Chains A and B, each alone.
Chain A
Amino acid sequence: MKVICRRFTYTLGALAVAAACGAAQAQETIRIGALATLEGPFAVPGQDGMRGVDLAVSQRKGMAGGKKIEIIKGSSNGNPDTAVNAARKLVEQDKVQILIGPLSGSEGIAVKNYAKTHPEVTFVNGSSAAQDTTLTDPAPNFFRYSTDGAQWQAGLGTYAYKDKGYKRIVSVAEDYSFPYSLLQGFMIEYCKAGGKVVDKHWVPLGTKDYSSVIARIPADIDAIYVALGGSDAVNFFSQYEQSGGDKPLVAGSITIDQSVLGYKGKRRDALIGTPSAGPIADNNDAPAWTQFVADYRAAFKDGLPSPSLFAHAYYVNAKAVLDGLDKVQGDLSNNQAKLREALSTMTVSTPTGEVKLDENRNAVADIFLTEVAKNSDGSLYNKLVKVVHNVDQRLGLSKEEFAKMGVGSRTNPECK
């Protein structure tokens, strides 16, 4: 009891001091909140996302727009409720003026809805990649400089059909909105090129035993499109190999991300050659990218072998915020009107090219087609094959065409 009493007093005291200091420094410091999933199933991507934010800030030596930048971190666990609670704490208790986050798709939609209730705070995405966050009912103060799940698959469908020659494919993906958008992005091009997605297997989130799904994969297909994340992907690969499966794979962006390729275990050779597409390519030789990777490795000795797409997304969004602050010289007056104007119209130069925003404040950026390859030290990475420039959220379709197709779901789109 005494311990609890002491802890309470300490907390209250610390909070009081922090509040006082915060009020005193309001003119000199800009408070930016960073929200990522530091607990739960996305803990590893969350940590990497925070590294992205830290890198962006440390590259500017903690200053932007002539003022000091203070980063306050918040944690969620993948649940929309927790994300909104953490966002609320950052906004209402810690009084951040800008919030960068969250990490996962469903959290993004919830935070966007929360953003509408706080028009005085600017919300910038972390790495959440659900289409609905900006396509449906966008918030005027929510900015996304990273691309969404459907955009990430640009170029993959055509590549799988034409270059790899896969005419018939089945898909195995987790049963929620983010893989729906990944698969939609893949199928828009693949079906147009003439490919057939013979069957879709939607696996409940958290399934570890894929033996039933593997049993249902027919023998007369050319490849399997896999959109699973984290440990689910690892489980699927090893179980597929153990059961004697030998069909080539086509991977969604999260399936062969560094946070998966870096798993501890030996049996990975079957992955080599798997094509995918996403916002980054590990061996991209553009100078901006190599500089980014070098900075990441220098700053984080305990980080992943190469920055994951989560670190990249958080870095790009944080850099955009800092660039915007520089542009308006730290002027956050009048409900941050100048900053918002700058953010909406400027072009951000990122390690993966130039990024602009569309009319829903979603990124129009380059997407990288990759294949998995092996390094000399045995680790796996994503080798660059091709760059697709300036991909927008409707993937080249017109507004009417895309509206007719609708946002991805379990049964949309179909091409059997």
Chain B
Amino acid sequence: MSAARWRRAMSAPLAGGAAARALREARVDAASAGTVAVAGPAGPGLAPSRAAGWRAAAPRSAPALAAIHRQAVAHAVVLALLLLYPAVATPFFTFQVGAQSLVLGMIALSLAFLGGYGGMVTLSQMTVAGIAGYAVALLGVNADAAHSMGWPWWLAVPAALCLGTLAAALIGVLAARTEGIYTIMITLAIGVAFFYLVQQNYTVFNGFQGLGRVLPPPLFGVDWRSPIPFYYLSLAVAALGYAAAVYLSRTPFGIALQGIRDNPRRMRALGFHVTLHRVAAHALAGLAASAGGVLLVWYNSQISPGSVNTASMINILIIAVLGGMRHPAGAYVGALLFVLLQNFAIDLVDRERFNLVIGGVFLFVLMVSPDGLLGIWQRLRAMLHPAARRRGSAG
């Protein structure tokens, strides 16, 4: 799939928020500054002009500052609401809806990061989460003594995160040379191979039954698996992931990644190591997915091949698309919608037809807005503030 086509697929026709516009200006400036430097000596000449371009593109205009101020307020409001949520919600809503959305959103965030900023849509994020989940179950304590190493949590959890990141990096090495639909295919194949491996192997993975009673450690005397503590734990991790994703997208690494998404050939000509950037992006996304995977095991208090089968892998893609891959918040919004549908569609329609509902909603969102719910939100805001739209049509 060509870069231009990808950009058309991923960008909404109307401009996004002011911060995104400033970002795009910065990217354009960085790229053009880089192109200018090609005329001179490649290596050392690149750094200062790139830095100059980056500095020059820092938003100075008043409307952009106001927009950033608005965004900060919005973030603070959302954070306050999320912190106060358990006070108004029942334990079921806190745990099964709130915490599950945050955990699934974390895994979908890794996909949104790779797909939205890196241009690589992969289906193996759930696999990476599953690898970390199985690692924490096997290395730590689970119901079956023959299948657990019994390590303490402060060894097992970091080891699981490392294993997950390593696995993601390996997947990245395999997938980095492919593009578009081929990336989807190779990551799907890797995921299905892993599924069959854990289903068929009993000595290590305990096959179809999986591993049960995998629980978070009782730190500070708190049972972290009970609804409210687990919700705050997931919220903390999710906030960290979100902040990391937003921050990363503005670092030189993130900008370069987006450049690679838009035009890998040009970036290669500029001297960027495209494959290494891609693998690094996979590894970073893998870290996020691993964190989500550990939380998911604790949420279910078990892990089985069913957690990493084809349907679960595709669910993560559905979540990311539903929410919109343009901004990290989309993953969480998509996860919330998905969890609500999964739990309550059975109450709205005939018991057995809720797959129809989930598929129907997914199709509807796709037809109406390729950027998911966030894209719909952006378009609504643009409709309500036409003045802002006119002023910011530079990008």
Contacts and interface: CB of A to CB of B under 8 A. Distances in A.
Q: Do A and B bind each other?
A: yes
A274 B337 CA distance: 50
Contact of A75 (B200, B202, B348, B352): B352
A188 B179 CA distance: 56
B96 A109 contact: no
Contact of B302 (A1, A7, A113): A113
Interface stretch (B51-59, B284-292, B339-347): B339-347
B28 interface: no
B209 A106 contact: yes
B196 A204 contact: yes
B346 to A, nearest CB: 6
A106 B143 contact: no
Given A92-B92, A204-B200, A410-B202, A84 B300 contact: yes
A185 interface: no
B199 A89 contact: no
Given A38-B352, A81-B307, A113 B209 contact: no
B306 A80 contact: yes
B361 A205 contact: no
B352 A39 contact: yes
Interface string B167-195: 00000000000000000000000000000
Contact of B343 (A39, A89, A175): A89
A390 interface: no
A4 interface: yes
A52 to B, nearest CB: 16
B298 interface: no
A8 B341 CA distance: 10
The B interface, classified by DSSP as helix, strand, loop or mixed, is helix
Nearest to A79: B306
Contacts of B207: 175-177
B376 interface: yes
A51 to B, nearest CB: 13
B34 to A, nearest CB: 40
Nearest to A93: B92
B184 to A, nearest CB: 22
Interface residues on A, range: 35 or more
A176 B208 CA distance: 6
A23 to B, nearest CB: 12
A1 B348 CA distance: 17
Interface residues of B, number: 42
Interface centre among B200, B306, B346 (most CB of A within 10 A): B306
Nearest to A105: B209
A29 interface: no
A11 B347 contact: yes
A347 interface: no
Interface in A63-97: 73-75, 78-82, 84-85, 88-89, 92-93
Contacts of A15: 344, 347
Given A113-B213, A204-B196, A38 B351 contact: yes
Contacts of B355: 39
A323 B352 CA distance: 29
Contacts of B229: none
Interface in B82-117: 90-93, 95-96
B119 interface: no
Nearest to A82: B306
Contacts of A89: 92, 96, 343
A84 B302 contact: yes
A47 B348 CA distance: 19
Contacts of B127: none
A409 interface: yes
Interface of A: 1, 3-4, 7-8, 10-11, 14-15, 38-39, 43, 47, 73-75, 78-82, 84-85, 88-89, 92-93, 106, 109-110, 113, 137, 175-177, 204-205, 409-410
Interface of B: 90-93, 95-96, 143, 196, 199-200, 202, 207-210, 212-213, 300-302, 304, 306-307, 309, 337, 340, 342-344, 346-348, 351-352, 354-355, 361, 364, 368, 373, 376, 380
27 contacts: A4-B361, A8-B340, A10-B348, A11-B347, A11-B348, A14-B347, A39-B355, A78-B306, A79-B307, A80-B209, A80-B302, A84-B301, A85-B342, A88-B92, A89-B92, A89-B96, A89-B343, A92-B91, A92-B95, A109-B212, A110-B302, A110-B304, A137-B143, A175-B208, A176-B207, A176-B209, A177-B209
Given A75-B351, A81-B304, A177-B207, 17 more contacts: A4-B361, A7-B348, A11-B347, A14-B347, A43-B352, A73-B351, A79-B304, A79-B306, A81-B306, A82-B306, A84-B302, A93-B92, A113-B143, A137-B143, A175-B200, A177-B208, A204-B199
Q: Which 7 A-B pairs have the closest CB atoms?
A: A79-B306, A176-B208, A92-B92, A93-B92, A38-B352, A80-B304, A81-B300
